């Protein structure tokens, strides 16, 4: 029996999309954070580049350096450094996946927690010992 296109279209299965995923999965949460930190790093580095250009063209006026004394600017710098370290460590995790390593459920969870812990420790180390 011949069916019309619309009958075939109606009976096609739909994609499960987001309904089959738990929102607290380690891999999906870190994937979303990886993308958000990439976007945040783009915008924060753009602001930093403009700040540096303004500082250079003002003949190195110390007023621009005094901006770093404000708490909101320090918080933005700390969050930017955390985003950078998170993006770096999660990128290393993705490189290991590209090599075919660490695809078991326990390996994904362990490396996910390692990414979170290492990015926090690297940020603390950077701000305590470097800056």
In a domain, 101, yes or no: yes
Question: Which tens digits make up the pLDDT trace of 59-116?
Answer: 889 888 898 899 999 999 999 999 999 999 999 999 999 999 999 999 999 999 999 9
> Looking at the 3D structure of the chain, how many domains does it have?
1
- DSSP string for residues in 22-83: -TT-HHHHHHHHHHHHHHHHHHHHHHHHHHHHHHHHTTS-HHHHHGGGSHHHHHHHHHHHHH
Instruction: State whether residue 92 is helix, strand or coil.
Output: helix
Q: 38: domain CATH number? A: 1.20.1300.10
Q: Which residue has the higher pLDDT, 76 or 26?
A: 76
Domain range enclosing 106:
27-130
Q: Tell me phi and psi for residue 3, to 5 degrees.
A: -110, 150
In a domain, 121, yes or no: yes
Q: For the purposes of burial, counting CB atoms within 10 Å of the CB of 37, is it exposed (0-12), middle (13-18) or buried (19 or more)? A: buried
In a domain, 31, yes or no: yes
Q: What is the pTM of this model?
A: 0.81
């Amino acid at each position: 029996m011949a069916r019309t296109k619309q009958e075939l279209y109606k009976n096609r299965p739909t994609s499960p999309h987001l309904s089959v995923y738990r929102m607290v999965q380690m891999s999906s949460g870190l994937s979303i954070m990886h993308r958000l930190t990439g976007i945040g790093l783009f915008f924060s580095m753009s602001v930093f580049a403009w700040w540096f250009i303004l500082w250079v063209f003002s003949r190195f006026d110390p007023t621009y350096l005094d901006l770093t004394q404000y708490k909101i600017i320090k918080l933005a710098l700390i969050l930017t450094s955390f985003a950078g370290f998170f993006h770096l460590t999660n990128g290393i995790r993705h490189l290991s996946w590209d090599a075919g390593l660490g695809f078991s459920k326990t390996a994904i969870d362990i490396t996910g927690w390692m990414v979170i812990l290492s990015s926090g420790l690297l940020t603390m180390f950077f701000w305590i010992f470097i800056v």
